[in-house]
Chains A and B, each alone.
Chain A
Amino acid sequence: MAKRKAGGAQSKLKRIWRDRVLYLTLLPTLLYFFVFHVIPIIGMKLAFYDYRIKGDNVFVGFTYFKKLFSTPVFFQILENTLIISAMKIFLFFPMPIIFAIMLNEFKAGPFRKSVQVISYLPHFLSWVVIAGIWFEFLSPSTGILNSVLSNLGFGKVNLLTSKGSIRWVLLASESWRSIGWDSIVYLTAIMGIDPTLYEAAKIDGANRFQIVGNIVLPALAVTMVTVLILNIGFFMNAGLDQVLNFTNAAVNSKIDIIDTYVYRIGLQNSQYSLATAANLFKGVIGTLLIVSTHLFSKKLTGKGAW
């Protein structure tokens, strides 16, 4: 690569000409992103304009942002988004770790394999299907939960229409869907542990709990920190697909999140500018979060989001 130093701009041009086929090959992908991402992103400037069906939109500055922040509903929605995200990130966080550690107690074999095959499956079901399954599961008339409760002498409950329980239903269904799949990354880290460490611990007379505490958990520390930090980057996404399928009139005020709000006021009520303002607000905060958590994680553990 001595040429690069000597040739400068000219050799750069030469190399571009040499690789012209490559640039042409990349063109469809670039075009796709330009048309379907860049153009609509630029279109989000609508947040600063009044939408007109005929003629040019009128520039109104931060009017719609002011309107947004003076809407009481918006703060309820912000609160819902943050609470649901926090529940999903922090309460769910230890579950796949415990799952992976417990799974690791079993040698590779039919039992372990069956648990893996079954527990990874829900990750591949759509939220529509999961909602269908969970509605059946929680059904007051035929569901497992209420069958068990009534056998134990308790009354029937409908967790799907109760304001107090719906967020927990979101957490539970998210855990149901992800506990197995999310444990893979930890299981991989556990399997990377040097076997001689176990042998040494055994010779020293350590029991299983000591081995988990002194060998397995420290080996998982980097993965744990990375997963936690990177998940915090997605704090503004509380799970649109899930909420859309689990919501109903009785509980909507508790699980209405930014994404569902944007969808409702934008596409159903045609308040385009206000919806775009909310969307842009979410997008900017979300981007800042993702970029900063990525950089932070990269610095701390050497692993980033990409």
Chain B
Amino acid sequence: MKRRKKISIGKLLCGFIMMLLALCMLVPLLNILARSLSQPDLVHGLKGYDILPKGFSTVNYQVILGQPIVIRSILNSLFITVAGVFLNIILTASAAYVLTRPGLVGKKVFMYFFIIMMIFEPGIVQEYFLMKNIHLLDNLFSMVIYRSVNVYYLIILMRFMEEVPASIQEAARIDGAGHFDVLFKIMIPLSRIPLITVGMFYAVFRWNEFFKSSIFLTSKNHTVLQVLLRQFVVNSDSQVIVGAANILANNNIAQLDNGSLKAATIVVAVVPILLLYPVILKYYTNGVMSGGVKE
């Protein structure tokens, strides 16, 4: 077949639209970054479509990261994310292993139970009361336990574990290996790609969660980053971060641009996602792209 050298108008138009869409997604993000790195006295000249900072200064980050409450909330978010994903993986992987054992009595009942749990969500008033009754209100562990198992991910993991040839597992069992040996030495290493993928999705969910955190974690000390960010960026309550006393007392802060401080906080909240993003692309998207989708 002869290769056409001429690029058609249709394709050119497609390329133009794609590029425009990509710019619509990229430019606002870069603009936030530029705003956060601009010099406070020059930032008023920064237009919405500028992607390079006006001047260069890290003062916004110094101020933001100099606030104890910001550091506190970052650490809280990190703790909930790390401990939460650990719990997610342990529970999801072990449940998927158990539910894919051949001849397990009651498997159907368990599956129906889990699917009902997936469809019917508890009411928020009741969830609040529950946390209160078991004394987890305003305790970081309320958010660690919250959503410990996502049934949808459980089903995905089960589909992968079903694919592991039974002969490998049986051979191990004959050699005297117990269920835990099979789970940790065979199943988890063999399904590490779906495990990492699911772990990444859990991590993104946990890092980004703000609604339940704002309900369960009531005191300032236990605030997570997204909740703080919401008060600052969405509700424009700059005192939560900078503090009323600071605004009055600290000349440095008074001269700063509120928009730039917000931008810097947004960047801080996005950085962990950007760190995970390449891993997600590598494990999830590439798998989908290369046609490895199960029917």
Residues of A participating in the B interface, judged by any CB pair closer than 8 Å: 1, 12, 15-16, 19, 21-23, 25-26, 28-30, 32-33, 35-41, 43-44, 46, 99, 102-103, 105-106, 111, 114-122, 124-129, 131-137, 139, 142-148, 176, 179-180, 184, 187-188, 191-192, 199, 202, 208-209, 240-241, 244-245, 262-263, 266-267, 272, 275-276, 279-280, 283, 286-287, 290-291, 306
A90 to B14, CA, bound (A): 23
Name the residue on A nearest B127 (C-beta).
A40
Pairwise interchain contact B127-A118, C-beta atoms closer than 8 A: no
Beyond A26-B95, A32-B145, A43-B129, is A128–B234 a contact (Cβ under 8 Å)?
A: yes
Does B190 sit at the interface, judged by CB under 8 A? no
CA distance A28 to B89 in the complex (A): 13
- The A interface, classified by DSSP as helix, strand, loop or mixed, is helix
Stretch at the interface among B164-172, B246-254, B285-293: B285-293
Q: Enumerate B196-216 residues with CB–CB distance to A below 8 Å.
A: 204, 207-211, 215
Chain A: CB-nearest residue to B13: A102
When distances are taken between beta carbons in the complex, the residues of chain A under 8 Å from B151 are 306
Residues of chain B within 8 A of A102, CB atoms compared: 14, 17-18
Decide: A191 near B105, CB < 8 A? Known: A40-B126, A176-B24, A276-B123: no
B122 at interface, CB cutoff 8 A: yes
Q: Are B285 and A184 in contact (CB under 8 A)?
A: yes
**Contact (Cβ within 8 A) A276 B126:** yes
Q: Which residues from chain B contact A43 at a C-beta distance below 8 Å?
A: 122-123, 126, 129-130
Q: Is B266 a contact partner of A245 (Cβ separation < 8 A)?
A: no
In contact, B21 and A99 (Cβ under 8 angstroms): yes
Please judge, given known A-B contacts A128-B233, A144-B49, whether A26 and B99 are in contact too, CB under 8 Å.
yes
Contacts of A111 in B (CB 8 A): 15, 18
* B269 proximal to A (CB < 8 A): yes
Q: When the two chains form the complex, which single residue of A126, A132, A267, A280 contacts B215, counting CB atoms closer than 8 Å?
A: A267
| Chain B residue contacts of A142, Cβ below 8 A | 46-48, 259
A208 lies within 8 A of B10 (CB): yes
CA distance A103 to B285 in the complex (A): 15
Q: Within 8 Å CB of A134, what residues of B?
A: 28
The listed residue (A32, A40, A132) touching B123 by CB distance below 8 A is A40
Q: Which of B29-37, B56-64, B68-76 contacts A (4 or more CB under 8 A)?
A: B29-37
- How far is it, in angstroms, between the C-alpha of A145 and the C-alpha of B273 when the chains are bound? 27
Alpha-carbon separation in the docked complex, A179 to B20 (Å): 13
Q: Which of B114, B211, B273 contacts A241 (CB 8 A)?
A: B211
Q: A33-B114, A136-B35, A241-B211 are in contact. Are A283 and B21 (CB under 8 A)?
A: no
Contact A36 B146 (CB under 8 A): yes
Q: Which residues from chain B sit less than 8 Å from chain A, CB to CB? A: 1, 8, 10-11, 14-15, 17-19, 21-22, 24-29, 31-32, 35, 46-49, 91, 94-95, 97-99, 101, 103-106, 110, 113-115, 117-130, 134, 145-146, 148-149, 151-152, 155, 178-180, 183, 204, 207-211, 215, 226, 229-230, 233-234, 259, 262-263, 266, 269-270, 273, 276-277, 280-281, 285, 288-289, 291, 293
Q: What residues on B are CB-neighbors of A35 within 8 Å?
A: 130, 134
Q: How far is the CA of A276 from the CA of B183 in the complex (A)?
A: 42
Residues of A within 8 A of B49 (CB): 144, 147-148
- Please state if B226 and A126 are interface contacts (CB–CB under 8 Å): yes
Name the residue of chain B whose CB is nearest to the CB of A241.
B211
Interface pair B31/A136, CB less than 8 Å apart: yes
Q: Which residues does chain A contribute within 8 Å of B11, judged by CB atoms?
A: 105-106, 208
Contacts of A29 in B (CB 8 A): 91, 94-95, 148-149
**Which residue of chain B is the closest to A101 with respect to CB atoms?**
B14
A126 close to B123 (CB less than 8 A): no
CA distance A92 to B127 in the complex (A): 32
A246 to B291, CA, bound (A): 37
C-alpha spacing A241/B213, complex, angstroms:
12
Q: Are B46 and A287 in contact (CB under 8 A)?
A: no
* Inter-subunit contact B48/A145 (CB<8 Å): yes
A33, A99, A279 pick with most chain B CB within 10 angstroms: A33
Given contacts A142-B48, A143-B48, contact A32 B148 (CB under 8 A): yes
CA distance A280 to B129 in the complex (A): 16
Chain A residues with CB under 8 Å of B204's CB are 124
Q: Which residues of the other chain, A, contact B134 by a CB distance below 8 angstroms?
A: 35
Most buried by A among B124, B207, B210, B215: B124
A286 to B276, CA, bound (A): 33
Interchain CB contact under 8 A, B273 and A125: yes
In the complex, which residue of chain B has the Cβ closest to the Cβ of A203? B1
**Identity of the chain B residue whose Cβ is nearest the Cβ of A15 in the assembled complex:** B105
Q: How far is the CA of A132 from the CA of B261 in the complex (A)?
A: 12
Q: How far is the CA of A193 from the CA of B114 in the complex (A)?
A: 35
Is the CB–CB distance between A262 and B122 below 8 Å? no
Q: For residue B128, which residue of chain A has the nearest CB? A: A267
- Complex contact A280–B128 (CB within 8 A): no
| Residues of chain B with a CB closer than 8 A to A262's CB | 123-125
Contact B281 A191 (CB under 8 A): no
* Other-chain residue from B15, B94, B129, B273 in contact with A25 (beta carbon distance below 8 A): B94
Identify A120's interface contact among B117, B178, B266, B281, CB under 8 A: B281
Within 8 Å by CB of B125, from A39, A135, A275, A291, lies A275
- Residues of chain A contacted by B14 (CB below 8 angstroms): 102, 105-106
